[in-house]
Amino acid sequence: MTAAAGVDTALQRLRDAAARLSGRQVTFMEVCGTHTMSIARLGLKALFPPNVQLVSGPGCPVCVTPQGVIDRMVALARVPGATVCTFGDMLRVPGTESSLERERASGARIRVVYSPLEALAHAEAHPGEQVIFLGVGFETTAPAIAQTLRQAKAKRVANFTAAVAGKVVPPALHALLSDDDVALDGLLCPGHVSVIIGAKVYGFIPAEFGVPCAVAGFEAAEILLGLASLCEQIAAGRATVENLYREWVRPEGNRRAQAVIDEVLLTADAEWRGIGVIPLSGYSLRPAWRDFDAFERFGIPEMHAPEPRGCRCGEVLKGVTQPRDCGIFGTHCTPQHPVGPCMVSSEGSCAAEFKYGGR
Positions that interact with ligand SF4 (CB under 6 A): 32-34, 59-60, 138, 140, 190-193, 311-313, 316, 323, 326, 328-329, 333, 339-340, 342-343, 347, 350
Closest CA to 202 of 180, 187, 216: 187
Q: Is the Cβ of residue 161 or residue 254 nearer to ligand SF4 in the bound state? A: 254
Smallest distance from ligand SF4 to CB 189, Å: 9
Find all residues with CB under 8 Å of 126, minimum gap 6, and list them.
83, 159
Per residue, the 3-state secondary structure of 306-318, as one string, reads CCCCCCCHHHHHH
The secondary element (H helix, E strand) that includes residue 214 is strand 213-215
Smallest distance from ligand SF4 to CB 295, Å: 23
Smallest distance from ligand SF4 to CB 77, Å: 22
Q: Is the Cβ of residue 131 or residue 344 nearer to ligand SF4 in the bound state? A: 344
Phi, psi (rounded to 5 degrees) for 26: -125, 145
Find all residues with CB under 8 Å of 240, minimum gap 6, and list them.
206, 212, 213, 233
Instruction: Answer for the pair 26, 244: CB distance below 8 angstroms, yes or no.
Output: no
Smallest distance from ligand SF4 to CB 174, Å: 17
Q: Is the Cβ of residue 61 or residue 186 nearer to ligand SF4 in the bound state? A: 61
Q: Is the Cβ of residue 42 or residue 333 nearer to ligand SF4 in the bound state? A: 333
Smallest distance from ligand SF4 to CB 321, Å: 7
Instruction: Answer for the pair 146, 140: CB distance below 8 angstroms, yes or no.
Output: no
Smallest distance from ligand SF4 to CB 14, Å: 21
Q: Is the Cβ of residue 13 or residue 312 nearer to ligand SF4 in the bound state? A: 312
The residue at minimum Cβ distance from ligand SF4 is: 340
The rounded Cα 348 to chain-centroid distance in angstroms is 9
Q: Is the Cβ of residue 32 or residue 157 nearer to ligand SF4 in the bound state? A: 32
In the chain, the largest separation of any two C-alpha atoms, in whole Å, equals 68
Smallest distance from ligand SF4 to CB 151, Å: 22
Q: Count of alpha carbons within 13 Å of 113, Cβ hemisphere only?
A: 24
Smallest distance from ligand SF4 to CB 278, Å: 17
Listed in sequence order, the DSSP H helices in the chain are 3-19, 33-41, 61-64, 67-77, 100-105, 116-125, 142-154, 169-178, 191-197, 204, 220-235, 255-264, 294-297, 313-318, 349-356
Q: Is the Cβ of residue 186 or residue 338 nearer to ligand SF4 in the bound state? A: 338
Q: Is the Cβ of residue 94 or residue 206 nearer to ligand SF4 in the bound state? A: 94
The rounded Cα 337 to chain-centroid distance in angstroms is 22
